[in-house]
Structure 1
Amino acid sequence: MTLSPRTTITPGQVWLDTAGERIHAHGGSVIAVGDRFYWYGENKEFSTPGSGIWHWGVRAYSSTDLCNWQDEGVIIPPDEDDEESPLHPAQLLDRPHIVYNAETRKYVCWVKVMTKGSIQRSTVLVADDILGPYEIVRTWLRPLDMSAGDFDLVVDPHDGKGYYYFERVHSEMICADLTTDYTGVTGYYSTHFPQPQPPFVREAPAYFARDRKHYLLTSGTTGYYPNPSEAAVAHSYHGPFTVLGDLHPSDSSRTSFHSQISSVFRHPGKKDLYIAIADRWLPSYLAHGERAHQAFVEHFAPGRDGDEPMEEFAEVNTSLADYVWLPISFDGDRPVIAWRDEWSPDEFEDA
C-alpha cells in the first residue's frame, strides 16, 4: 500500500512509512547525510509479549522532509544463530547511536546491551556507509570499567572531538572523552547528577548545543513508564551543569506527554529548529487516566523504595510503541516543549 505524502508530523499518532507499514525506529535518532535525513533505531516489529524477541536489529528510514519516511531496511541485522552474541534477538539491545568520523571516514554505531543483575555493556560497530554493512569492532565493553546504560554520542562540529554521555547504572551521569576513532574512551571523564537510587537517577541523556551552551535532557528511571523530563545547561561538555527543571511544564500528568526523549535533532536547514525525538512506549497507558497518574505519583512518593516495581496496569508491547516528535522552544536559555497535535518543519524559517 502506497500512502499519499504527508505534510505534517502528528505526535503520538501511529506513524507509517511510505509503503504504509508501521515505522520501527525506537530509541532512535536522526542524522543528516548529504541532502537526506536518516532515522534509525531499534526494530521492534516482532517484539510482542511472550515472543522472547527483544529486538530485530537496527532499522533505518530515509526522508527529505522529516514527514515522509522510506524504509531502508535492517542496517544492523540480528544474529539469530549465536545466543551469546550481543546482536542475538533475545539480548536486551537498546538505543543505537551513530556518528560520522571525518578522520577515519567511518560511521560509528554504539549500542547498549542489558544483562542480568543490572549490568549494562556496550557494543561498537563501524561502516563505510550510513546504511551499512556494519562490522562489530568491540563487544561487551564496560567503558571506564562501569556499567553503562542509556547514552548519547556527541561530536564537536569545530574540532571533531567525540564525547560519550551515559548513565552509570543506578548512580549518576558520566561524560567521557571518546578516542579519536570514536570506538572507545580515553579515560578522562566527569560525573554529574548523582542520586542514591531509581527513580531519581537520571537516564536517557539527549544532548544538543545552542548559542555556545551545552544542554542535556534526561528522564528519571521508571522503566517503560513515563516520568518528568529534566533539562540542564553548562558552558562546556564536562559541565558543571545547572538543572533548569521540567522540559514539559504544561503537562499536568508530569509524564513528558507520556513519552521519553531519546535524542534531539537540530535541523541543518532551519533557523533554531530543535526537535525532541521521543518514544511513547506504552500507548495503552493513556487509557488508564487518573489511575495511571496516581500510580506514578506514588512511585515518586518520599521514602518509597525506588527499586520497588510499579503496579503493572499497562501491557508492555513495544511492537505497538508510538513516537512523539515536538519542536523545542526557548524561554531565555531554558528549553521548553509544548504539546502540539500537528506541526510541520515548513513552519520554521530557512537558515
Structure 2
Amino acid sequence: MYDSFRPGQVWHDTKGERIQAHGGSLLFVDGTYYWYGENKERSTPGSGIWHWGVRCYSSTDLYNWDDRGLIIPPVPHDPDSPLHPAQGMDRPHIVHNARTGKWVCWLKVWADDGSHLSTVLTADSVLGPYQIVRTGLAPLGMYAGDFDLAVDPVDGKGYYFFERVRSELICADLTDDLTDVTGRYSRHFPQPHPPLVREAPAYFRRRDRHYLITSGTTWYYPNASEVAVAGTYHGPYTVLGDPHPTDPSGTSFRSQVSSVFRHPSEPDLYIALADRWLPHLAEEQSNQTEAFHQLYASGGASFTPPPVDTSVADYVWLPIRFDGDMPLIEWHDEWRVDAR
C-alpha cells in the first residue's frame, strides 16, 4: 500500500504490476478517480508493438490503483484498424458530454507515411465499452499530433488543442456532440521546425485564466517545458516561460507533462501528470539530450529516432504552486495531497 506520491519511482497497481497508463489523464466520477492512458506493457524494442490498447485504473486516494483492464482493447487481427498494435496510437483523452450522457474519447493515430489522423470513440460508461464513431479524421484538413480536450464547466462547449504537425498549435471548437470540429479555430506558437514546435499540450483553467503547458518536439527525449496563459480558450496566449525553473538540466525533471488535474476537494491543488519515458537517462546525461535536440533539428522530416523501451517508462506527478499567474512545478522526492 502507498500513502504518498514518489515521483520517478516505479509505481505498481494493487496487484503488484507496473502501472501502464502513459500519456495519461485523470477523471473524478462519483467519488472515484480514474487514471487512463496508453498501455505500453508490450512496447519493447523490436516487438513491432506501439501500444496494447488503453488501460484504466481506479482509486479512492490517488495513491493506490486497481487495474480495471483495457477500456479500449487493441485490434491485433486487422492491420488497417487504427487500434492495431503497430499503429501509432497515442495520448487518449476522454471527456464527458452532459448533453448526451456519452463519454467521448479522442485518439491520435500516426503512421509511417507521416499522416496523423484522429479516431473518436464514445461509450455510455467511463469504463466502456467504447465504439468508434469517427476514424481517419484530419481536423480542419490538418494533420493533428499531440492534443488535449477541454469542456467548459458552465456551457458544456468543447475545445480541442492540438499540434498541427511540425508547425503550430491549434485551438478548435468542437461540435455539440464533442466528436468533431466546427470549423472555428485559432492559431498559436508558430515555429519553423522541430524541436522548436510545441507539442504535448496540457490545458487547465485556474479561476479566470487559461493555461497551456507544452514541450518541444524531441521524440521521447525530455526538454524544457513552456507555459502560456490567456483570458479565453482561444487566447491570445502570453508565454510565461519554463514552469520547472529549479531543474538545472532544463529537461522538466527528465519528464514530459501529459495533463494537469485539478483536485476536486483540496483548495487550489493542481497536479501535473508527466511521463519519464527514459528512466535510465541520468540527470548528468542532459548533455546527451541537448545533442539529440540538435540532431533532430538538423534531420528535419527525414530524421529517424532511435528505438526506446517505453514498457518501463515511469511517472512524475508533482503539485503546481502559483506565483501570481506563473505556475511553478518543483521537485519533491515524496509528497502527499494533504501536506504540500
TM-score, normalised by the number of residues in structure 2: 0.97
- Please say if 1:150 is aligned against 2:142: no
Runs of 4+ in 1 over 3 A off after TM superposition: 298-304, 308-312
Q: Secondary structure in 2 aligned to 1:131?
A: coil
Query: Which residue pairs with 2:190 in the alignment?
Result: 194
1:296 is aligned, of 285, 289, 296, to: 289
Contact 1:280 1:324 in 2 (8 A): yes
Q: Secondary structure in 2 aligned to 1:116?
A: coil
Aligned-partner Cα distance in 2 for 1:46–1:269: 36
Report the CA distance shift for 1:90/1:333 in structure 2 as closer, same or farther (over 3 A). same
Q: Which amino acid aligns with 1:323?
A: Y
Q: Secondary structure in 2 aligned to 1:305?
A: helix
Query: Which residue pairs with 1:318 in the alignment?
Result: 310
Aligned-partner Cα distance in 2 for 1:31–1:304: 36
Query: Which residue pairs with 1:341 in the alignment?
Result: 333
Q: Which amino acid aligns with 1:297?
A: E
Deviation readout 1:275-332 (Å, 9 max, x if unpaired): 000000001112xx54x322333455699626275985xx610000000000001111
Q: Secondary structure in 1 aligned to 2:159?
A: strand
Deviation readout 1:105-163 (Å, 9 max, x if unpaired): 00000000011232211000000000000000001100000000000000000110000
Report the CA distance shift for 1:274/1:17 in structure 2 as closer, same or farther (over 3 A). same
Q: Which amino acid aligns with 1:43?
A: N
Query: Which residue pairs with 2:322 in the alignment?
Result: 330
Contact 1:199 1:306 in 2 (8 A): no
How does 1:116-195 map onto structure 2 within 5 Å? 116-195=112-191
1:110 is aligned, of 86, 89, 106, to: 106
Aligned-partner Cα distance in 1 for 2:49–2:291: 31
- Please say if 1:47 is aligned against 2:43: yes
Contact 1:24 1:45 in 2 (8 A): yes
Query: Which residue pairs with 1:85 in the alignment?
Result: 81
TM-score, normalised by the number of residues in structure 1: 0.94
Q: Which amino acid aligns with 1:293?
A: S
Report the CA distance shift for 1:119/1:162 in structure 2 as closer, same or farther (over 3 A). same
Query: Which residue pairs with 1:264 in the alignment?
Result: 260
Q: Which shows bigger deviation, 44-53 or 183-192?
A: 44-53
Deviation readout 1:184-227 (Å, 9 max, x if unpaired): 00000000000000000000000000120000000000000000
Q: Which amino acid aligns with 1:296?
A: T
Report the CA distance shift for 1:179/1:19 in structure 2 as closer, same or farther (over 3 A). same
1:42 Cα offset (Å): 0.3
Q: Which amino acid aligns with 2:84?
A: H
Deviation readout 1:57-95 (Å, 9 max, x if unpaired): 000000011001000000000011110000001111000
- Please say if 1:305 is aligned against 2:301: no
Contact 2:27 2:35 in 1 (8 A): yes
Aligned-partner Cα distance in 1 for 2:278–2:88: 18
Give 5+ residue unaligned stretches, structure 2: none
Contact 2:194 2:297 in 1 (8 A): no
Report the CA distance shift for 1:19/1:103 in structure 2 as closer, same or farther (over 3 A). same
Query: Which residue pairs with 1:212 in the alignment?
Result: 208
Report the CA distance shift for 1:304/1:16 in structure 2 as closer, same or farther (over 3 A). closer
Give 5+ residue unaligned stretches, structure 1: none
Q: Which amino acid aligns with 1:342?
A: E
Aligned-partner Cα distance in 2 for 1:216–1:15: 27
